[in-house]
């Protein structure tokens, strides 16, 4: 089982704290990442250090103003403040009761945990993966236990949340280049997505395996994973556009220009068909211009640096402000610099 710490006997108190102090955990990690001590942070946001200490230890919830001040201090672009406001006191109490009696899980508890995960994913655009992983793994133990122990008509809902949570952990490991752990978690996420019958989740987990293969410079695996994601039943139209583009990049890296250009044509036709569609929540970043970054990578590998630069710049410019400094954008910025130099 992936939740090894829980299997070793983590008590319900530890599980409850991991579910209830998201802001405190993430804020501490962000301050540490920025090299800010508690006292320095208190001075910077003009709050009493004792009060801030209680908030950062999870003993008190932050006020909206403090959450915004910490968010601004660490440059989280609103994601940390949003995390603080994700759960109402009723939501927190509901999650606590659900953890204690998982067989009585209800729709509101499932939605509250899904909202927490959505907020965590957006925070990943502002914080580096190593800072995100410890708390995410601790929370996973709670969600995995609920997915295993829940019964009744809302049990499938929490299993879907657990499948996406496993996928998120796999993505964080891939981003941090913990390659073996990333592969293990993403394989688990694929299996869980199949178990709950979600083609979108299955395709995204396989897509992330393609991303990892690209970081490992294994073009054959890039093609294999992205084509598998492309052909996954139930994948959304915008997911399939991105998968076709990235499989094309893999072929280009292998020197196989004809299949690469055919896949780029396929992606272009699919993009026209997908115009106006909404991306799935599990791939919320798929904007109309997002795939232009992948097209840029493909054209750079095909030996078309000017075309590559145009696509890469357009894709980067089309990112929302909160994503522009994300760790995963480094790959595209480096490719843009290489295209311009060529």
| Side-chain-facing half-sphere of 28: CA atoms under 13 Å | 14
Q: How many Å apart are CA 45 and CA 3, to the nearest integer?
A: 37
Helix, strand, coil proportions of the chain in percent (round to 5)?
A: 75, 0, 25
Q: For 319, which DSSP code?
A: S
| Token pair in block for residue 140 | 């996973």
Q: What's the confidence (pLDDT) of residue 6? A: 32
Q: What is the DSSP track for 174-193? A: HHHT-HHHHHHHHHHHHHHH
Q: Count Cα atoms within 13 angstroms, Cβ side, for 310.
A: 4
pLDDT at 97: 78
DSSP designation for 59: S
Quote the tokens at residue 200.
Answer: 């979108």
Q: Check residue 18 and give its pLDDT.
A: 42
* CA dihedral of residues 71, 170, 153, 109 (deg, nearest 10): -20
Distance of CA 133 to the CA centre of its chain: 11
125 in Cβ contact with 326 (< 8 Å) = yes
The half-sphere exposure of 240 on its side-chain side, counting CA atoms within 13 A, is 21
In Å, how far are 76, 139, 167, 266 from 134, measured between CA atoms?
18, 9, 15, 40
- The distance from CA 144 to its chain's CA centroid, rounded to whole angstroms, is 18
- Give average pLDDT by consecutive 10-residue segment, the chain, 342 residues: 34 41 78 84 84 82 84 80 73 77 84 86 82 85 88 89 95 95 97 96 97 96 98 95 96 97 94 86 85 95 95 93 84 95 90
């Amino acid at each position: 089982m992936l939740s090894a710490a829980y299997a070793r006997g983590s008590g319900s108190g530890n599980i409850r704290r991991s579910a209830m102090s998201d802001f405190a955990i993430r804020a501490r990690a962000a301050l540490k990442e920025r090299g800010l001590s508690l006292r320095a942070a208190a001075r910077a946001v003009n709050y009493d250090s004792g009060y801030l200490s209680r908030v950062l230890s999870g003993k008190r919830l932050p006020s909206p103003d403090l959450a915004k001040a910490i968010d601004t201090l660490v440059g989280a672009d609103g994601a940390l403040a949003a995390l603080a406001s994700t759960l109402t006191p009723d939501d927190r109490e509901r999650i606590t009761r659900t953890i204690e009696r998982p067989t009585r899980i209800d729709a509101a508890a499932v939605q509250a945990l899904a909202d927490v995960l959505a907020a965590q994913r957006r925070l990943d655009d502002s914080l580096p993966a190593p800072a995100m992983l410890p708390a995410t793994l601790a929370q996973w133990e709670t969600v995995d236990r609920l997915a295993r122990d829940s019964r009744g008509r809302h049990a499938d809902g929490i299993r879907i949340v657990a499948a996406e949570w496993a996928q998120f952990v796999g993505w964080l490991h891939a981003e941090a280049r913990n390659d073996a752990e990333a592969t293990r978690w993403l394989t688990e996420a694929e299996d869980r997505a199949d178990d709950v019958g979600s083609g979108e989740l299955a395709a995204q987990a396989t897509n992330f395996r393609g991303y990892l293969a690209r970081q490992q410079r294994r073009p054959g695996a890039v093609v294999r994973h992205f084509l598998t994601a492309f052909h996954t039943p139930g994948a959304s139209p915008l997911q399939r556009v991105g998968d076709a583009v990235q499989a094309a990049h893999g072929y280009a890296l292998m020197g196989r220009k004809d299949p690469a250009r055919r896949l780029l044509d396929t992606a272009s036709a699919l993009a026209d068909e997908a115009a106006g569609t909404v991306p799935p929540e599990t791939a919320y970043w798929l904007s109309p211009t997002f795939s232009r970054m992948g097209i840029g990578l493909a054209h750079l590998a095909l030996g078309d640096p000017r075309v590559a630069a145009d696509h890469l710049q357009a894709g980067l410019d089309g990112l929302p402000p909160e994503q522009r400094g994300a760790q995963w954008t480094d790959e595209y910025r480096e490719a843009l610099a290489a295209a311009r130099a060529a």
